[in-house]
Chain A
Amino acid sequence: MLFVGSVAVANAQTPPPAAASPAGVPPTWAQGRAVDGMNPSLVPNPSPVTAKAANELQIDKLKVPSGFKVELWASGMVNARSMTESPSGTLYVGTRFPGNVYAVVTKDGKREVKVIAKGLHRPNGVVFTNGSLYVAELSRIIRYDNIEKNLDNPPAPVVVFDALPKDEPHGWKYLKLSPDGKYLYFQIGTPANIIVPPTTHATINRLNLKTNKMEVVATGVRNSVGMDFHPTTKQLWFTNMGRDWAGEDLPNDTLHRLSRNGLNFGYPFCHQGDWLDPEFGKGRSCDEFAKPEVKLGAHVSPIGMRFYTGTQFPNEYKGNIFIAEYGSWNKTKKTGYQVVRVVLDDKNKPVKTEPFITGWLQGETYWGRPADVHVLKDGSMLISDGEAGAIYRVSYGK
């Protein structure tokens, strides 16, 4: 892939943390909260501090399409989120809190969960390649070499890249290896709900693993915590979280395609490709920016996503994009808390988006929150649950 239109190259120094905000500036979650605006009782959902025991998981409440089956695959991983699998079948799982990385190994049909790292700083992103596990913390990328043989006694990590901002808001990262294996892709989220961000932020970046140089590939992306490459076009598709406190039903969270490097997706001026920000959109036009492929609904919180590359599911699922929606907080009636599928036509245009698995939300109460999806070699699909600390397996047929 030619790299045209790169926007910036990181300097070698670690940027300083964001300057302190002046007194009276509300905490990040409340920024942009209009006085006469939305339901004032809305506050972010708390992170879980424990994993649910297997017998507390309400798997029987999960609804799947006819012919599919969902079962518990592994549990006991506090805040289990992003997943990556090694060629030998070890599944690595990152977390936002409490800073653990887990490995799930299957031996003689039995699954065992090992804690391979503790006390990391928001180790949300995980990628396994060339015998090493890469982990994206909030402000650095580290690597565990030869990890497969040392799961019970992991080596000290090698720091791969640490010239990343230290801002906490939207600072946790998703990590994805490019199809050619040369680059690690990750986002730098905006350090607030809605501001004109520094040029480093609200971007998707890639790190060249050979030269250790970082490049921006997309701007105007508020916060993308899920990405995957199309299996044949090799283009990057990614989810994005829309701003809060602008409405119960606006703006939409979105699914995007990076048709060429250097595109600007609109934040903070234009959201969902066609809706100017009430404050920052003044004097701007949405025509300046790249459009989303799909509007997913406001506040659904789409994060992990994968193209379905397996053969186990029926034909109509081939090439679908599966997206884990972590679920809303900035909306009175809860929404999201499900896995959806996006059906593409033969020109890779999305033609349909519909729920694939629901049931984590019961009434206005959630017992789990899907965080990432992963296609296993046999074509079945894993779903991580960041609230319950569990992973489920979805299969089709017998």
Chain B
Amino acid sequence: MMAFFNILIFFSSNSFAADPILGKSKSQMCMSCHGENGMGISKDIPNLAAQPALSIFYQLIQFRDGLRKGGNMENFAKALTNEDIKDIAAYFSQLPAPPAKSGGDEIKIVLGEKIAQQNYCNSCHAVKFQGQQQAPRLAGQSAEYFIKQLKDLRSAARIDMDGNMGSAAKGLTDEEIEALAAYAESLK
């Protein structure tokens, strides 16, 4: 139902095919923080497992080109070619999705779901926040990482590619961002 078909074509029409097996060998350095299973080793490190390949591609390009900074990623990504990035993205994207977190704060989760609907988050991040095309998976993401990113998008500390995430985050309070994070973490 979603309208990002064009990107799928763009991604697959290149003269080489992304290779998850090659991607695994290129991801050795990534795994020391993001885990071999794509799960961040601490709460401030994002889970990459089952992220849409294109969303990893978009972010790594922005890190490599110095547009986005954080976690020293701008340096780790410096030497990567577009082909490397596609292979790495292919590896993490085919890993099993992170488990849903159980036992979260029910009130926060319900509020988070409501805010997600009001702000049409699902239009890009998909019905259950599984992500699609360049829009990252939010389901099962570490709440601590989620909160920091959304606050950084709100304050423009993190680059906002086309203004859509900045305008989405602009009206949110800290409490609402925490509720969205709790909701996202509760999903698989």
Give chain B nearest CB distance to A81 CB in angstroms. 13
Decide: B9 and A30 in contact? CB cutoff 8 A.
no
- Looking at B24-32, B33-41, B92-100, B161-169, the stretch in contact with chain A turns out to be B161-169
B51 at the interface (CB under 8 A from A): no
B43 at the interface (CB under 8 A from A): no
* Contact A43:B134 (CB < 8 A) given known A22-B171, A56-B14: no
Cα-based distance from A41 to B123 in the complex (angstroms): 6
Decide: A27 and B120 in contact? CB cutoff 8 A.
yes
A73 at the interface (CB under 8 A from B): no
User: Closest residue to B9 on the A side, CB-wise?
Assistant: A365
Decide: B120 and A30 in contact? CB cutoff 8 A.
yes
B79 at the interface (CB under 8 A from A): no
Query: Chain B 151-188 against A: per-residue CB contact (8 Å), 1 yes, 0 no?
Result: 00000000011111111101111001000000000000
Decide: A27 and B9 in contact? CB cutoff 8 A.
no
A351 at the interface (CB under 8 A from B): no
A20 at the interface (CB under 8 A from B): yes
B42 at the interface (CB under 8 A from A): no
Give chain B nearest CB distance to A77 CB in angstroms. 13
Interface of A is mostly: loop
Cα-based distance from A20 to B172 in the complex (angstroms): 9
Cα-based distance from A262 to B5 in the complex (angstroms): 43
A329 at the interface (CB under 8 A from B): yes
Most buried by A among B4, B161, B164: B164
Cα-based distance from A27 to B160 in the complex (angstroms): 13
B66 cross-chain contacts in A, Cβ below 8 A: 118-119
- Looking at A45-53, A62-70, A225-233, A280-288, the stretch in contact with chain B turns out to be A45-53
Most buried by B among A27, A41, A43, A98: A27
A residues with CB within 8 A of B: 20-30, 33, 40-50, 52-53, 55-56, 96-99, 118-119, 168-169, 171, 329, 364-367
B residues with CB within 8 A of A: 1-7, 9-10, 13-15, 57-58, 61-62, 65-67, 82, 115, 118-120, 123-124, 133-134, 160-168, 170-173, 176
The 5 closest A-B CB pairs, nearest first, are: A27-B168, A21-B171, A28-B167, A168-B163, A27-B167
> Assuming A46-B161, A168-B166, what are 8 further A-B pairs, CB within 8 angstroms?
A23-B118, A25-B171, A26-B168, A28-B164, A30-B119, A364-B6, A365-B5, A367-B13
